[in-house]
């Protein structure tokens, strides 16, 4: 076990009846790096995210985040530790606007307490203004500024995905689990978001990224982990992984 | 020979805001028309208007010269249009088998045989027949959604990002299947953000911007359009390297 790992997964298991979505997955994630997580459809990538973030009860195994065993922690406690995830199918509260969604995700808001929330003291207002500025900035970077006051139900599929990334940017994570953030996002915007993610990495945030867009994995990831059939299969640099013959056959599809 | 004729169609989700601002388009048997464009350009809304899930505020949709009743998805379906939405496109609590059988509900004929045909086309579903659709991976769910749409033997297939969430090999396979469907005579209208790959398999490329049609060209021709390439394909270089 590497001492410097930010996230350690040990023999992670998750069974749905007879289906072994995770069948003893073990690997570490290093801090301050972007790690790509690839594998064929059904390899257990999203289930792994669900188990790590506390949304899906595990059948067995251990998850250690920054030295804390979070295997039995609830989802909100895990996100409170700075382990934030996004979803493949973007979710949201239908009656809230884009702006409200972004505001909601800023952590440790002073106005959350009952007393301060009611009294609305000056420091609460000041922090709220700061967060609002940040939310507007995030929306601008993600080309969502023109829909800031729209309800999330008015957004297109791609815009919902962008909002997922926006919420992650607001949450100040230490480890960010991104589940196919670019599926459904226009390729030119994908490049801009990739720059955004690289900047987060440079600011010290570790990212674990499920993505099928290989150009993005290549340009963004410091390392790539490959999963197959609910297990760790191999890891290495992008070029090492894509030159693995079995990865080529099962995942990339070798072109004639 | 099927012809879907879309004539100055306009509309949106509310009467106040018009998202699709008058689009003319003709799709024939054998066409694999790929719609690309920025996020929020109105691509999905346009497809929903065509499928009858939204009532257009103007324009007509004709199938083989006969006008489809406005905003009537069921009528569109029984006349031969099948639509696969981007999200929520399967019944999560039902098994894969029941999903497929339900897909056949609105048409006559032998449901088991139609299901066998789809399982042959998409063998990945065979091993999952008894599992609830909600337990499928994202990619497998997309495959099921497409199989479900094909259960009615449509003449026009409307697809909203069929490769979103698919691994490279699965995306390539899916587009190959879509192309085969087009070659078999189905008229296919497909939205794809994976534009480079989609244009490689497609016969036509259509660009929507701000609810209007900005380009309608041959797929290869569109890929080499410098402006389009910069705006929507991640640069021409990306297109050419991937095309190789």
Q: Residue B69 gets which letter from DSSP?
A: P
Q: Residue B176 gets which letter from DSSP?
A: H
pLDDT exceeds 60 at position B235: no
- The lowest-confidence range among A59-68, A181-190, A221-230 is A181-190
Per-residue model confidence (pLDDT) at position A256: 35
Give me the residue from B165, B193, B233 closest to A158, CB to CB.
Answer: B193
- The lowest-confidence range among B8-17, B53-62, B179-188 is B8-17
Find out whether A188 and B233 touch, Cβ atoms under 8 Å.
yes
Confidence of residue A126 (pLDDT cuts 50, 70, 90): confident
Name the more confident of B5 and B13.
B5
Please check whether residue A224 touches B, CB under 8 A.
no
Average pLDDT over residues B35-54: 93
d(CA B55, CA B57): 6
Kind plus residue range of the DSSP H or E element containing B97: helix B96-103
Average pLDDT over residues B178-194: 94
Please check whether residue A253 touches B, CB under 8 A.
yes
Per-residue model confidence (pLDDT) at position A208: 96
DSSP string, chain A: --TT-SEEEEEEEEEETTEEEEEEEEEEE-TTSEEEEE-STTSSHHHHHHHHTTSS--SEEEEEETTEE-TT--HHHHHHTTEEE--SS----TTSBHHHHHHHT-SS-GGGSHHHHHH--HHHHHHHHHHHHHHHHHHHHTT-GGGTTSBGGGS-HHHHHHHHHHHHHHT--SEEEEESTTTTS-HHHHHHHHHHHHHHHHTT-EEEEE---HHHHHHH-SEEEEEETTEEEEEE-HHHHHT-HHHIIIII----
Tokens of A191: 């490049």
Contact criterion met (CB < 8 Å) for A42 and B135? no
Interaxial angle between packed helices A157-170 and A187-202, expressed in degrees from 0 to 180 and rounded to the nearest 10: 10
Tokens of B242: 């991937």
Per-residue model confidence (pLDDT) at position A255: 47
Which pLDDT tens digit goes with each residue over A51-98?
A: 999 999 999 999 999 999 999 999 989 988 999 998 877 777 888 999
Per-residue model confidence (pLDDT) at position A53: 95
pLDDT exceeds 80 at position A185: yes
Confidence of residue B26 (pLDDT cuts 50, 70, 90): very high
Confidence of residue B233 (pLDDT cuts 50, 70, 90): low
Find out whether A231 and A11 touch, Cβ atoms under 8 Å.
no
Please check whether residue B232 touches A, CB under 8 A.
yes
Tokens of A67: 């030295």
Interaxial angle between packed helices B138-150 and B111-121, expressed in degrees from 0 to 180 and rounded to the nearest 10: 140
- The lowest-confidence range among A9-13, A64-68, B79-83, B84-88 is B84-88
Average pLDDT over residues B141-164: 92
Kind plus residue range of the DSSP H or E element containing B149: helix B138-150
pLDDT exceeds 90 at position A132: yes
CA terminus-to-terminus distance, chain B? 33
Q: Strands across the sheet with A83-85, in order?
A: A83-85, A175-179, A206-210, A34-38, A223-228, A231-236
Please check whether residue A140 touches B, CB under 8 A.
no
pLDDT exceeds 80 at position A197: yes
Tokens of A244: 């693995």
d(CA B98, CA A66): 44
Please give the interface size between A and B, counted as residue pairs whose CB atoms are below 8 Å apart.
114
Find out whether A58 and A71 touch, Cβ atoms under 8 Å.
yes
Contact criterion met (CB < 8 Å) for B160 and A39? no
Per-residue model confidence (pLDDT) at position B67: 95
Q: Which of B18, B21, B17 has its CA nearest to residue B8? A: B21
The percent of residues above 70 in pLDDT, for chain A, comes to 97
Per-residue model confidence (pLDDT) at position A1: 47
Backbone angles phi, psi at A6, to 5 degrees: -85, -40
- The lowest-confidence range among A33-47, A129-143, B129-143 is B129-143
Average pLDDT over residues B141-155: 92
Find out whether B199 and A152 touch, Cβ atoms under 8 Å.
no
Candidates A18, A37, A55, A158: best to mutate against B (most CBs of B within 10 A) is A158
Find out whether A63 and A99 touch, Cβ atoms under 8 Å.
no
- The lowest-confidence range among A107-111, A230-234, B94-98 is A107-111
Give me the residue from B87, B138, B232 closest to A188, CB to CB.
Answer: B232
Q: Which of A147, A210, A196 has its CA nearest to residue B164? A: A210
- The lowest-confidence range among A179-193, B85-99, B109-123 is A179-193
pLDDT exceeds 70 at position B241: no
Which residue carries 């507007």 as its tokens?
A136
Per-residue model confidence (pLDDT) at position A3: 54
Mean pLDDT estimate for chain B: 89
Task: For chain B, give the number of residues.
Answer: 244
d(CA B8, CA A255): 41
Look up the ipTM and state it.
0.74
Contact criterion met (CB < 8 Å) for B168 and A155? no
Contact criterion met (CB < 8 Å) for A143 and B39? yes
Contact criterion met (CB < 8 Å) for A251 and B169? yes
pLDDT exceeds 50 at position A146: yes
Find out whether A170 and A138 touch, Cβ atoms under 8 Å.
yes
Tokens of A19: 């289906």
Q: Which of A46, A3, A54, A4 has its CA nearest to residue A25? A: A46
**Dihedral angle at the C-alpha atoms of A81, A233, B163, A214, nearest 10 degrees?**
80
d(CA B71, CA B56): 7
Please check whether residue B191 touches A, CB under 8 A.
no
Mean pLDDT estimate for chain A: 88
CA B242 centroid distance within chain: 23
Per-residue model confidence (pLDDT) at position B234: 61
Which residue carries 């048409």 as its tokens?
B107
pLDDT exceeds 80 at position A204: yes
Average pLDDT over residues B94-122: 91
d(CA B201, CA B121): 18
């Amino acid at each position: 076990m590497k001492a410097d790992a930010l996230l350690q997964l040990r023999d992670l298991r998750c069974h749905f009846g007879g289906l072994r979505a995770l069948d003893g997955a073990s690997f570490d994630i290093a801090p301050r790096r972007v790690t790509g997580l690839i594998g064929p459809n059904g390899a257990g990538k999203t289930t792994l995210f669900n188990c790590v973030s506390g949304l899906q009860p595990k059948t067995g195994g251990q998850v250690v985040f920054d030295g804390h065993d979070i295997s039995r922690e609830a989802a909100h406690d895990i996100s409170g530790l700075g382990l934030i995830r996004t979803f493949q199918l973007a979710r949201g509260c239908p009656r809230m606007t884009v702006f409200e969604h972004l505001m909601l995700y800023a952590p440790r808001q002073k106005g959350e307490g009952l007393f301060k929330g009611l009294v609305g003291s000056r420091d609460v207002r000041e922090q709220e203004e700061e967060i609002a500025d940040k939310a507007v900035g995030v929306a601008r970077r993600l080309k969502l500024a023109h829909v800031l006051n729209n309800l999330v139900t008015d957004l297109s599929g791609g815009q919902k995905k962008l909002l997922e990334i926006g919420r992650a940017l607001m949450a100040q994570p230490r480890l960010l689990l991104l589940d196919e953030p670019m599926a459904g996002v226009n390729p030119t915007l994908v490049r801009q978001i990739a720059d955004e993610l690289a900047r987060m990495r440079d600011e010290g945030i570790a990212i674990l990224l499920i993505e099928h867009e290989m150009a993005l994995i290549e340009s963004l990831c410091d390392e790539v982990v490959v999963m197959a059939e609910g297990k760790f299969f191999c890891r290495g640099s992008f070029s090492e992984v894509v030159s693995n013959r079995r990865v080529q056959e099962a995942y990339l599809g070798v072109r004639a | 020979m099927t012809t879907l004729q879309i004539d100055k169609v306009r509309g949106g989700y509310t009467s106040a805001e018009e998202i699709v601002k008058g689009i003319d388009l003709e799709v024939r048997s054998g066409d694999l028309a790929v719609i690309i464009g920025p996020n929020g350009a109105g691509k999905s809304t346009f497809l929903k208007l065509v499928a009858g899930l939204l009532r257009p505020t103007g324009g007509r949709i004709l199938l083989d010269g006969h006008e489809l009743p406005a905003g009537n998805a069921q009528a569109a379906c029984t006349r031969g249009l099948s639509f696969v939405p981007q999200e929520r496109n399967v019944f999560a609590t039902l098994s894969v088998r029941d999903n497929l059988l339900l897909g056949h509900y609105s048409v006559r004929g032998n449901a088991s045989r139609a299901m066998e045909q789809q399982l042959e086309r998409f063998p990945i579903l065979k091993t999952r027949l008894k599992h609830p659709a909600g337990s499928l991976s994202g990619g497998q769910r997309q495959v099921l959604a497409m199989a479900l749409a094909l259960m009615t033997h449509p003449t026009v297939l409307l697809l909203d990002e069929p490769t979103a969430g698919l691994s490279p090999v699965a995306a390539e396979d899916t587009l190959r299947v879509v192309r085969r469907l087009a070659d078999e005579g189905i008229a296919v209208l497909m939205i794809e953000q994976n534009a480079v790959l989609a244009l490689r398999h497609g016969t036509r490329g259509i660009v929507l911007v701000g609810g209007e049609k900005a380009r309608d060209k041959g797929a290869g021709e569109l890929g080499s359009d410098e402006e389009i390439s910069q705006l929507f394909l991640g640069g021409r270089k990306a297109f050419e390297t991937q095309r190789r």
